[in-house]
Amino acid sequence: MPHFLTAALYKFVALPDFRQMQAPLLARCQEAEVKGTLLLAEEGINGTIAGSVDGIEAVLDYLRSDPRLADLEHKRSYSEAPPFQRMKVRLKREIVTLGVPGVSPTQMAGEYVKPHEWNRLIEDPEVVVVDCRNDYEVAIGSFAGAVNPHTRSFSELPAWVDRESAPGGLLAGKPRVAMFCTGGIRCEKSTALMRMKGFDEVYHLEGGILKYLETVPEAASSWQGECFVFDERVSVGHALVPGDYALCLACGHPVSADERANALFEHGVSCPHCHPDTSEARRAELRQRRRQQALAAAHGAGADA
């Protein structure tokens, strides 16, 4: 069994005292030797933490001791190495940034659809299926027939909705919309946005893509490709089996095995996605950084020997 448990969690719930929650929560995480990042805002909590099984359970128990977070859910994954180096509890305006005042997932989110019912919904030609994730995530996998808004950040989605709601747009005259994202948090907020903008029937995939891949057999699946995840696995496939992708350490873009075999890929320096926009001087800086990191790692290994 791998040594480190990673827990990804979020919950939209009114936390008017979120500022006062910061210091005690950080202290509890440090006491449990848990690392990662947790975001607190008036609209709720979001984040990913990692540590020993006992440490993670201690932090989750602490969070759930607050009646407002008693039903807080989390997703688990395991790793051999610690995925995070320090613990941060940050205060934010939003736990996932959309930038539209008045959007309330606790009051306005769309209707949940269970993973085993999702295929039937998205096969309906009257339903517009929208992938709420960013362009680099959509590029490595999505549901068949889903619309890619080509956003670089979640905060660009409202402008896309406005454009496509205008006459001639993809959403014009389409009251039925189904939205999905990795784990569910962006879906809740985006469906609340759609309802605020007057869409009558708005649905979202309960548990997100990850729950779908975990529970729907590959033979019955409408998913194509892999799903980008924000941890050391980089991507997963059906049954949440780790996928083929790695991260370009220079730009953070997921790169496939074929892309890593490309002449433009240099570990820690460039990949086919960022090479055209990276100067030779910048690549030289990154190569020097790699050498320094390798030397530091070698000295560390020598000290431990």
207-263 pLDDT per residue, tens: 999 999 999 999 999 999 999 998 778 899 999 888 899 999 899 899 999 999 999
Q: Is the pLDDT of residue 123 over 50?
A: yes
Question: Given 3-state DSSP classes, what are the helix, strand and coil percentages for the chain, each rounded to the nearest 5?
Answer: 40, 25, 40
Query: Mean pLDDT over residues 192-213, rounded?
Result: 94
Query: Mean pLDDT, the chain, as a whole number?
Result: 92
- Please tell me the distance from the alpha carbon of residue 25 to that of residue 248, in angstroms, as a whole number: 33
Quick one: which of 215, 250, 245 has its CA closest to 230? 245
What's the pLDDT band for 79 if we cut at 50, 70, 90? confident
- Please tell me the distance from the alpha carbon of residue 229 to that of residue 239, in angstroms, as a whole number: 14
Class of domain 4-91: alpha beta
How does pLDDT run across 36-76, given as a tens digit for each residue?
999 999 999 999 999 999 999 999 999 999 999 999 999 88
Structure confidence at residue 19 (pLDDT): 98
**Active-site entry in 132, 181, 187, 248:** 181
User: Which residues contact residue 286 at a Cβ distance below 8 angstroms, ignoring those fewer than 6 apart?
Assistant: 250, 268, 269, 270
Domain extents in the chain? 4-91, 105-224, 248-305
Tell me whether residue 248 is one of the annotated catalytic residues.
no
Which amino acid type is present at position 78?
A: Y
- Please tell me the distance from the alpha carbon of residue 193 to that of residue 174, in angstroms, as a whole number: 15
Structure confidence at residue 302 (pLDDT): 53
Structure confidence at residue 200 (pLDDT): 86
268: phi then psi, degrees, rounded to nearest 5:
75, 0
CB 97 within 8 Å of CB 155: yes
User: Which residues contact residue 145 at a Cβ distance below 8 angstroms, ignoring those fewer than 6 apart?
Assistant: 122, 129
Class of domain 105-224: alpha beta
